[in-house]
């Protein structure tokens, strides 16, 4: 890892438990945008994503018009994939419904892991799964609630990013650290 954004992300964000709904929306959106691309590509565009998606405020994103979506599709600072951009808007609406039903997206998502991160014990990169039974369950439930671009592999990457699972490898300096909650 030579990209300073990537190193900083790994050392200060990845795997730290998220309990902030704006961060949850940001992470699930960015993981969906990353599908088929490298995470480094998304990190390099992250600040522009924050800007054009109103700081990942789901209330604002849910109100994006078709004209706003068309404008976003011209912005080289994001992944200009129509399905991914449109899903961000529809996912914002589904996100708000989950907040209404559960009080917060945080309460909803953490219930799938019993309120505590799953602690993994991986030694090698080849040991990591691309999805798990838990990510399968979350993916199915999110889809049932209206989300798109939340297949099990995307959900597992989101779980890793948002600290729902602690997947730093045994050789990593962050292996089995007890992280504080990450906030915006």
- Active site annotation includes 110: no
Q: Find residue 182's DSSP bridge partners.
A: 18
Cα angle value 120/136/53 (rounded, 5°): 90
d(CA 46, CA 85): 14
Q: Find residue 157's DSSP bridge partners.
A: none
Sequence length of the chain is 184
- Active site annotation includes 31: yes
Buried b (16+ CB within 10 A) or exposed e, 28-43: bbbbbbbbeeebeebb
Of 31, 49, 108, 158, which one is the catalytic site residue? 31
- Active site annotation includes 9: yes
Of 6, 39, 97, 175, which one is the catalytic site residue? 39
Q: Give the chain's end-to-end CA distance (angstroms, integer).
A: 24
Q: Which residues are catalytic?
A: 9, 31, 39
């Amino acid at each position: 890892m030579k990209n300073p954004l990537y190193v900083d992300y790994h050392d200060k964000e990845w795997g730290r438990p998220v309990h902030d709904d704006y961060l949850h929306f940001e992470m699930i959106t960015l993981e969906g945008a990353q599908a088929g691309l490298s995470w480094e590509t998304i990190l390099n565009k992250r600040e522009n994503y924050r800007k054009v998606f109103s700081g990942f405020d789901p209330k604002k994103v849910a109100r994006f018009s078709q004209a706003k979506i068309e404008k976003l599709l011209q912005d080289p600072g994001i992944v200009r994939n129509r399905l991914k951009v449109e899903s961000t808007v529809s996912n914002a609406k589904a996100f708000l419904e989950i907040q209404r039903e559960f009080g917060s997206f945080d309460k909803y998502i953490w219930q799938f892991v019993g309120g505590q991160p799953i602690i993994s014990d991986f030694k090698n990169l080849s040991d990591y799964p691309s999805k798990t039974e838990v990510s399968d369950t979350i993916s199915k439930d999110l889809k049932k609630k209206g989300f798109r671009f939340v297949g099990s592999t995307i959900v597992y990457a989101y779980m890793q990013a948002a600290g729902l699972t602690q997947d730093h490898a045994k050789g990593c300096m962050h292996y089995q650290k007890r992280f504080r909650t990450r906030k915006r």
